[in-house]
Amino acid sequence: MAYRDGEFRDAAYCGTLNKEIRAIINIIWKIDFSHEVDLLKIENSNLAHDSKQGRKFSIILEHHERRQPYVELLNECWQKQCRRSLAA
């Protein structure tokens, strides 16, 4: 779920990306990190296996619901920036 390699976070600070895109990437990274922490807490808890699986599933659904609008916005902004770059 979360991006473990440094490339995703480093992309947020890449000089070629505009501020809006960097801000959206940062939001997505925070959402991913938050849900990764929640999943680790569940994994390390004393809950029964079935309870863990159910809770993990709900965390994954919540993650997708929170993240998806930002992914769509990022795609729109990226397309706009690419069009501007091609036009220049």
Q: What is the pLDDT of residue 18?
A: 84
| Residue 52 in domain | yes
Kindly state the average pLDDT of the residues 16-32.
90
Residue 1, in any domain of the structure: no
Query: pTM (2 decimals)?
Result: 0.70
d(CA 52, CA 42): 6
Report yes or no on 25 lying in a domain. Answer: yes
How many structural domains are present in the chain? 1
- The domain in which residue 10 lies consists of 6-87
pLDDT confidence of residue 86:
65
Instruction: Answer whether residue 83 is part of any domain.
Output: yes
Q: Answer yes or no: is 72 within a domain.
A: yes
Positive or negative CA dihedral for 45, 46, 47, 48?
positive
